[in-house]
Amino acid sequence: MRKFNFNMLAVMMGTLSIAVGTAIIYLGYQLLGIDLSLYYGIRTFNPTWVVALFLVPFIGGLFVSFIYGLGGKILAYIPALLVCGADYIYLEFFGMVPQGTTLLPLGYWILVVIIAVESAGVGGIIGEVVIKKTYGRSDKKKLHKKYQKRPVSSNT
């Protein structure tokens, strides 16, 4: 029988951080009244749409990284993908597209989602930099004790 070696606290914190990031992005879209899956014509591309595309996922990724800690930059991509994907699937199969709008074709929608997900990823990276308080190589004192180099004693 194979024994799994994982940290349950890390799994719970990862799940919590993804849930919080998803809630932040969803509530941000609801507060702004923007749906990235819909196309209203040229009036789609207004400053509110730009804020919803760049700033809302960025803030969601930032909070994912703040909650999870180091390694949160990897999890920061997931909430934006969940929110945008669930919204598009709901409108495509179950929802009603408002009159005067169309659902973005899948190819165009993927381009919008890539931008939103990358914005969330940048938020996750900046969140890790803020947590770590340094960028680039870590100070040796901040490394886990397993990875710290022990001084070689010269007893000769």
Tokens of 5: 């070696």
* Ordered DSSP codes for 84-143: HHHHHHIIIIIS-PPTT-EEPPHHHHHHHHHHHHHHHHHHHHHHHHHHHTS-SSPPGGGS
Task: List pLDDT tens digits, range 18-77.
Answer: 999 999 999 999 999 999 999 988 888 899 999 999 999 999 999 999 999 888 889 999
Q: pLDDT tier at 144 (50, 70, 90 boundaries)?
A: low
Kind plus residue range of the DSSP H or E element containing 38? strand 38-39
Tokens of 8: 């349950």
**Which pTM was predicted?**
0.81
Task: List pLDDT tens digits, range 74-121.
Answer: 999 999 999 999 999 999 998 888 898 999 999 999 999 999 999 999
